């Protein structure tokens, strides 16, 4: 769903860094903060990302945005990401994560979501995959995930709508599963591997042949604003 192929990496040990170019990125391993205005040409507007704190223990950042035009299209996925040793999903024991976030203007079209890619080729570009797993902690306005709703599931003690659809990314089919919360979850702590377990057991996801290649958390901005999305702290790892 996203086609960020950046890699204008900026030194990121300092706080207060501002990033306003399309694919600006700041890094303090294993974490990064990424501007990622991958769909900016489908509308009109502006967006900047501000690094509040970035270190080996987590990421704190916020983004300010205003977008119009191109209704129903994603303009950006500003996010924080984490690097890890790629491995088959079937070999992953846990993906612990926690996040605290807030959105000041909810009269917009946007979502707040985890985004993970898997691929049969461990060297696949990390900007897309054979499969995409999205976990929507919030949905604002008149937007919906790729495809259609196929189920309702309880994962990690919470109820989720389960959506499925496919798109073409980099000339190949990408199958997307989206778990959508019924109401905003501003404080989340859990094991993302539980979502892969559900997909493997209930939707035929091929965990033994798909490598986990990317893990990010952020907001997809469609239209509206001005709005500010703030991540007070985000951590994640793959075990």
- Inter-residue long-range contacts of 122-126, CB under 8 Å, 24+ positions, other chains counted: 122/86, 122/211, 122/213, 124/211, 124/213, 125/5, 125/170, 126/213, 126/214
β-pair partners for 48: 64
What residues make up the domain containing 102?
8-236
Q: Do residues 9 and 25 lie in contact, with contact meaning Cβ atoms separated by under 8 Å?
A: yes
Q: How far apart (Å, rounded) are the C-alpha atoms in residues 192 and 136?
A: 12
Q: Specify if 1 maps to a domain.
A: no
Q: Specify if 232 maps to a domain.
A: yes
User: How is residue 42 annotated by DSSP?
Assistant: G
User: What pLDDT does residue 170 have?
Assistant: 84
User: How is residue 158 annotated by DSSP?
Assistant: E
Q: Specify if 222 maps to a domain.
A: yes
| Alpha helices, DSSP H, located in the chain | 193-202
User: What pLDDT does residue 1 have?
Assistant: 52
User: What pLDDT does residue 129 have?
Assistant: 97
State how beta strands 24-28 and 31-34 pair. Answer: antiparallel
Residue 225 φ then ψ, to 5°: 105, 175
pTM for the predicted model, two decimal places: 0.93
Q: Specify if 190 maps to a domain.
A: yes
User: What pLDDT does residue 7 have?
Assistant: 40
Q: Specify if 85 maps to a domain.
A: yes
Q: Specify if 50 maps to a domain.
A: yes
Tokens 């985890």 found at:
114
Residues with catalytic roles: 132, 220
Q: Do residues 69 and 224 lie in contact, with contact meaning Cβ atoms separated by under 8 Å?
A: no
Q: Indicate the number of domains in the chain.
A: 1
Q: Specify if 24 maps to a domain.
A: yes
Q: What is the CATH number of the domain that holds 35?
A: 2.60.120.180
User: What pLDDT does residue 4 have?
Assistant: 46
Measured over the CA atoms of residue 126, residue 127, residue 128 and residue 132, the dihedral's sign is positive
Mean pLDDT, each 10-residue run in order, the chain (239 residues): 44 71 97 97 98 97 98 97 98 99 98 99 97 99 97 98 95 97 98 99 98 99 98 99
Q: Specify if 2 maps to a domain.
A: no
């Amino acid at each position: 769903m996203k086609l960020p192929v950046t890699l204008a990496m900026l030194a990121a040990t300092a706080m207060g860094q501002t990033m306003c170019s399309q694919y600006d990125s700041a890094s303090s391993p294993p974490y990064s903060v990424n501007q990622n205005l991958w769909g900016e040409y489908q509308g009109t507007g502006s967006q900047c990302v501000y690094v509040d704190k970035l270190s080996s223990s987590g990421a704190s950042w916020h983004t300010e945005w205003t977008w119009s035009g191109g209704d129903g299209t994603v303009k950006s996925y500003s996010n924080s990401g984490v690097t890890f040793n790629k491995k088959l999903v079937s070999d992953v024991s846990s993906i612990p994560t926690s996040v605290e976030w807030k959105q000041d203007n909810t009269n917009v079209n946007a979502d707040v979501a985890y985004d993970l890619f898997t691929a049969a080729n461990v060297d696949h570009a990390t900007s897309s995959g054979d499969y995409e797993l999205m976990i929507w902690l919030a949905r604002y306005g008149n937007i919906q995930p790729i495809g259609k709703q196929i189920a309702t599931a309880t994962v990690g003690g919470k109820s989720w709508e389960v959506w499925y659809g496919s798109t073409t990314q980099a000339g190949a089919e990408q199958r997307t599963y989206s778990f959508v919360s019924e109401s905003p979850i501003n404080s989340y702590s859990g094991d993302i591997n539980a979502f892969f377990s559900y997909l493997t057991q209930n939707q035929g996801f091929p965990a033994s042949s798909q490598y986990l290649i990317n893990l990010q958390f952020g907001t997809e901005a469609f239209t509206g604003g001005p709005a500010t999305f703030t991540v007070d702290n985000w951590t994640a790892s793959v075990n």
